[in-house]
Amino acid sequence: MRYAQGGGLTDAGRAARERVRLQAVERFEDGQKNREIAAALRVSERSVERWRRQWRERGEAGVLSKGSPGRPRLSEAQITRLERELERGPLAHGWADQRWTLARIKTLIGRLFHVSYTVVGTWLLLKRHGWSWQQPARRAIERDEAGQSMTPPRARSWGRKGSTPVVRVRGRGSGRVSMAGLTCYKPGKRSRMFYSVREYRGRKGEPKGIGWRDLCDLLVRAHIQLGGPIVLVWDNLRMHLVEPMRQFIADHADWLTVFQLPSYSPDLNPQEGIWSLVKRDIGNLAAADLGQITRAVKRRLKQIQYRPDLVDGCLVGTGLITDG
């Protein structure tokens, strides 16, 4: 017989629980075996074993329930301090972006007050004190003469109801980070993901993003590491259809077969799920320079490479299947 932490019982239910334990004590004194007691009282043998051990050590008092440990509570002064620290933002507490998540707030409570909350308990605490899950607004704290800004995706964050969280972004510089990737699936094998990242800093003659040569290099690298032929299914991006890319595909027809997805069908492309995971991770990032964004992107892509379950989930999200 198991009860939820905190009891989850009425007064009558708690009284019934104590009666069961006292009945177990009577049966201990009569010399009954654990299996007989468990069957008679409709509890697990494990519970009976624990009660018997407590009875031997401390008698009847040792068997009685100690009651719920109760949920940890913060005083009003501690709640006020917590809200003040939350308003300072995650950057002030060592996180790389400006996104308050339940896990981060739970960690902050532990750091400040040495009190352990569960994620659900943290959610209830915030709800009780007027905080909600919101889409933040942006505010530039630096701009160059051209007024261009580096603004990574916005991600939801916890904030006080009626007061929209503000994400401060630096507007210095006009660079961006481009990504290309391959998600690779084979029945019975571990899913793989390959990627290429390129920075564009606005310099004269610098490529503005991923080009067809980058795509060719990515395909060759995947072919070498996978050690077999590749059936490539991709969308109708202009770079996929340029003549040099078509020529590369024709020249490597011995190991590369290409199929085009229907037009306007990102929901069928599992790589879109990868990009969504990356953008969510760098949401609300107040990057000091383009290099910080690049490092954050590469770090997240590397983490995904070691999580085949995430790669599999992106395929599941498309509704497609691999037929072995």
> Max Cα separation, the chain?
93
Mean pLDDT on 40-46:
90
200 pLDDT more than 80: yes
pLDDT band at 252 (very low <50, low <70, confident <90, very high): very high
pLDDT single digits (tens) 51-66:
888 888 888 888 877 6
pLDDT tops 80 at residue 229: yes
204/33: higher pLDDT:
33
Dist. CA 296–CA 283, nearest whole Å: 10
Q: Please determine, for residue 2, whether its predicted confidence score (pLDDT) is greater than 80.
A: no
- Which among 95, 71, 97, 93 has a CA at the least distance from the CA of 82? 93
* Model pLDDT for residues 256-272, shown as the tens digit of each residue: 999 998 888 888 889 88
State residue 185's pLDDT score.
93
pLDDT score at 17: 82
Give the pLDDT confidence score for residue 324 in this predicted structure. Answer: 55
User: CB under 8 Å to 79, separation ≥6 — which residues?
Assistant: 129
Cα separation, 304 vs 310, whole angstroms: 7
What is the residue whose two structure tokens read 């990868």?
A: 274
Cα Rg of the chain (Å, integer): 29
CB-based contact 205:220 (threshold 8 Å): no
Any long-range contacts for 50-58 (C-beta under 8 Å, 24+ apart)? 51/21, 51/24, 51/25, 52/24, 52/28, 55/24, 55/25, 55/28
- pLDDT given for residue 1 in this prediction: 42
Residue 184 has pLDDT above 50, yes or no: yes
* Residue 204's pLDDT band (cuts 50, 70, 90): confident
What lies within 8 Å, CB to CB, of 142 at 6+ separation is 170, 171, 172
Q: How confident is the model at residue 219 (pLDDT cuts 50, 70, 90)?
A: very high
pLDDT category of residue 5 using cuts at 50, 70 and 90: very low
pLDDT score for 202: 78
Which tokens sit at 232? 């490539």
Q: Which residues contact 249 (CB under 8 A, 6 or more apart)?
A: 256, 258
pLDDT value of residue 149 = 36
122-166 per-position pLDDT tens digit: 998 898 888 888 776 655 444 333 223 355 566 677 777 777 776
Report which of residues 47 and 71 the model is more confident about.
47
pLDDT score for 173: 53
**Mean pLDDT score of the chain, rounded to an integer?**
82
Q: What is residue 112's predicted lDDT score, i.e. its pLDDT?
A: 92
Give 304 or 64, the one with higher predicted confidence: 304
Map residue 237 onto helix, strand or coil: coil
Least confident of 54-58, 75-79, 256-260, 290-294: 290-294
- pTM, full prediction: 0.56
* Beta-carbon contacts of residue 58 (< 8 Å; ≥ 6 apart): none
